[in-house]
Structure 1
């Protein structure tokens, strides 16, 4: 509820700023036309993944990962790294934070190991692993528009090198910090059968078909919406009580819309000139590091969405735009509000009775965020 209230407040602030600055109605309509497909995708993909979780798809995947680990925690953790990366790349960082967090925590408890390394793996890779595809992050969907609709494969071609580095650096840091916990062994326990095999099969098939559809060249909201409708129909037949209003992430939609409107209206107060002065110009390695650094700091001070929107005008070339995405996607690892995925992750942890102090989170983030953003940006700059 707090996220929704903050979003409503931002909508009010944005509306007031738009009135004060005299933002043309046509500009507001253009903003709405740009963001509605993004928000519709978020709603649809959230419904799909929530219903798939109800059908126990993710539980079964977690149990299979536990068996594949063959009693070695480090091997199981490696599978979780892959799972979190793939989930983020194809289903978005918020999906990973919401759905994978309880999976890995319950899995850790099931095998008797510390859940914190698994939980941190989830939230760090939800952020740093969101550079692969347009669907991985709302910022990418917005940037794809500015890149003249390069499509999933064109976007991946631009971002693949920094995306791989942005995944590798946090994994190395986690492996060093939690090497003792990850060196332990566990006993493999076979899980029970799913409650409704029909729901499970339908959900699994929809997810398998959705992944290639998201990179097919269609606007991503179309396959996501189709998948949500199909699964909703199946659940109407099999388990109607699951279909409730809370499946729709309305708070996230209100929050994101409020951020978009507020930042867009703030440009009338000279915001663009300020960020252009901070981010500089040029596409040399030092220039790209500057853009990425400003993006990372902005994301941790505000949130990655308004940071991207505020800094988007400095993305005057594909190289500078990718550097900005590196900063706002891989950088928000320090403050709890730096990305909505981090807030959602912490709420899930609290609901599961897992405590990690924000001081501990910020301390580790201050180490891994500069390393990740710096290494990913340099790798990108040197391979262009």
Structure 2
């Protein structure tokens, strides 16, 4: 509810800017044309992920992975790492943070191994693993739209930094948690889905959706189609699941307010100082400067407003990806650096798993600079 309140206040700020002529009707029309399809995708893919989770898809996959691990925590963790990466890349960081976290934490608890490495894996990979595709993160969608890049063109530029960010994140988790990850556990028998038909429909829908998200079709179209398929399936089999809370309305209000407010700041040139800080150029140091400013800004105010404020100063694909490295992969120090982190912590609290914010921030201070440097240097080497 807090982010909805913040978003409502920002919408009022944007409305005032329009009323006093800071934003013209043409400015508003252009902004709406840019962001409405993106918000439509966010709503649709959230509904898809929520209903797939209700069908037991994530739980069943995680339990099958536990069976494949054959009692070895390190194998289970590597499989969860792969699942979290795939979930983040194709279904967005929020899906991994919100829907996968309670599943893998419960899995670790049932196996009687520490849930902490698994919890850190989901939240860190949700952020650091969200570089590869436009659909992985709302900031990526904005960047791809601004640069008019096909998803595969986007992935060609982001592949090396995305791989570097994931590998460094995984290495830090293993190095800091070796005893917990080298433990053994007694595997349990995987339970079948409660409704096999809903499970099958959800699985097939996601399998069909994933390639469509990189096909070049506007992503809100296949995501909306997938949402409609699952809504119809649940309306027939489990109508009680269909409730308004499936729609991420708070995020929509928050994002809409940010778009308007930051657009107004750009109109009065209040963000020009960020251009000086972000610098220019494409040398490794120049790209590290952009990424560093992005990471600092994201950890101060949140990654979405940080991206929106700095976007005009990353005016080509390489500098834009450097900015995304900062605001996506670098936003893991403060709790508010990304909305996914706050949602992840709420899920941990509901699962009775305790990671204090001071401890989280200290760990973030360790991993964020390593990921930032590795990913940015990988970008510079391949650009």
How far is 1:272 from its partner?
3.2
How far is 1:343 from its partner?
1.1
Gaps of 5+ in 1: none
Q: For 1:86-120, what per-residue CA distance to the aligned partner results, in whole angstroms no more than 9, with x for missing partners?
A: 11001111111111011111111110111111011
Secondary structure in structure 2 of the residue aligned to 1:131: coil
Residue aligning to 1:53: 53
Q: For 1:298-320, what per-residue CA distance to the aligned partner results, in whole angstroms no more than 9, with x for missing partners?
A: 11011111111110111122111
C-alpha root-mean-square deviation of aligned residues, in Å? 1.1
The reply on whether 1:347 has 2:353 as its aligned counterpart is no
Residue aligning to 2:357: 358
Residue aligning to 1:223: 222
Residue aligning to 1:104: 104
Distance in 1, Cα, partners of 2:222 & 2:78: 30
Distance in 2, Cα, partners of 1:17 & 1:301: 24
Distance in 2, Cα, partners of 1:55 & 1:30: 39
Residue aligning to 1:335: 334
Deviates more, 1:133-142 or 1:185-194: 185-194
Residue aligning to 1:85: 85
Q: How many residues align?
A: 383
Residue aligning to 2:369: 370
Q: Where do 4+ consecutive residues of structure 1 move more than 3 Å? A: 17-21
Instruction: Answer yes or no: is the 8 Å Cα contact 1:17–1:266 preserved in 2.
Output: no
Distance in 2, Cα, partners of 1:158 & 1:132: 8
Q: For 1:25-83, what per-residue CA distance to the aligned partner results, in whole angstroms no more than 9, with x for missing partners?
A: 21112111111111111110111111111111111101001011110001100011111
Residue aligning to 1:137: 137
Gaps of 5+ in 2: none
Residue aligning to 1:181: 180
1:336/1:17 CA distance change after superposition, 3 Å: farther
Instruction: Answer yes or no: is the 8 Å Cα contact 2:331–2:338 preserved in 1.
Output: yes
The reply on whether 1:200 has 2:199 as its aligned counterpart is yes
Instruction: Answer yes or no: is the 8 Å Cα contact 1:323–1:377 preserved in 2.
Output: yes
TM-score of the pair, normalised by structure 1 = 0.98
Distance in 2, Cα, partners of 1:380 & 1:241: 47
Distance in 2, Cα, partners of 1:333 & 1:269: 31
Residue aligning to 1:294: 293
Instruction: Answer yes or no: is the 8 Å Cα contact 2:73–2:182 preserved in 1.
Output: yes
How far is 1:17 from its partner?
4.0
Distance in 2, Cα, partners of 1:79 & 1:290: 34
Q: For 1:316-358, what per-residue CA distance to the aligned partner results, in whole angstroms no more than 9, with x for missing partners?
A: 2211111111111100000111111111111111111111111
Instruction: Answer yes or no: is the 8 Å Cα contact 1:43–1:249 preserved in 2.
Output: yes
Instruction: Answer yes or no: is the 8 Å Cα contact 1:280–1:287 preserved in 2.
Output: yes
Aligned counterparts, 1:154-169, within 5 A: 154-169=153-168
Instruction: Answer yes or no: is the 8 Å Cα contact 1:21–1:269 preserved in 2.
Output: no
Distance in 1, Cα, partners of 2:368 & 2:21: 36
How far is 1:18 from its partner?
4.4
